[in-house]
Amino acid sequence: MLPVVALVGRPNVGKSTLFNVLTRSRDALVADMPGVTRDRHYGVCRSGERPFVVVDTGGLSGVEDALDVLTARQVRLAIDEAQIIVFVVDARDGLLPQDHVILGELRRSGKPIIAAVNKTDGLDLATAMAEFSVFGIHATLPLSAAHNRGTDDLIATVLPLL
C-alpha cells in the first residue's frame, strides 16, 4: 500500500487544481463553481523520489446550508485514511473563520499537517504569507497550483513525513 496524502480545505481554494498538478491528470474536476467536486478523487503522485497516493477530498455538494456538515465529513474522512494532511488555504481570501474550524479538527487528529497557501501568483510573497504564519503546524508553504509553482517544495516537504 502506498502512503496517502489528503488535500483538505474550503471549497474553491484550489484543491482539485493541486491534485491535477501532483497527479498530472485531468481526472479531478476544476471549475469556478465552489463545491463542484462531489466525490473524493484518488491519484498517484510520481514526481518525487517515492510515489504516494493523493486524495482530493472535494466531497461538497454545494448545498449552502449543508456546507459545514459536509466539510466536517470531508475532514473526518481525510483524517481517517491519510498519513499526512495538506491543508490548502487561499492567499487572496486570507485566513477565514472556516479555515480555523477545519484546522482545529485537523490538529486534534495528531497527524502531520502542511499548510499550502495557494493562489500566491501575482502577490507579494512576504505579505501574502505573513497572515498564515500563525498556524504553528509542520510547515507553511507558498503555492500557485495553477502555475505549477511551489509544488516541488510541497512534495519535498511531504516525502520525509511518509
11 binds ligand GDP (CB under 6 A): yes
The 10 Å Cβ neighbour count of residue 159 is: 16
Tell me the site size for Mg ion, rule CB under 5 A.
4
Ramachandran angles phi, psi of 81, nearest 5°: -105, -10
74 binds ligand GDP (CB under 6 A): no
Q: How far is the CB of 140 from ligand GDP (least distance, A)?
A: 16
Closest CA to 5 of 59, 47, 60, 44: 44
37 binds Mg ion (CB under 5 A): yes
- Binding segment (CB under 6 A) for ligand GDP, from list 31-39, 67-75, 93-101, 123-131: 31-39
**Residue that the C-alpha cell 497557501 belongs to:** 117
Closest CA to 120 of 1, 7, 13: 13
**What is the Cα–Cα distance from 154 to 124, expressed in whole angstroms?**
19
String of contacts with Mg ion for each residue 55-74, x by CB under 5 A = ---x----------------
Residues interacting with ligand GDP, by CB under 6 A? 9, 11-17, 30-32, 34, 37, 58, 118-119, 121, 144-147
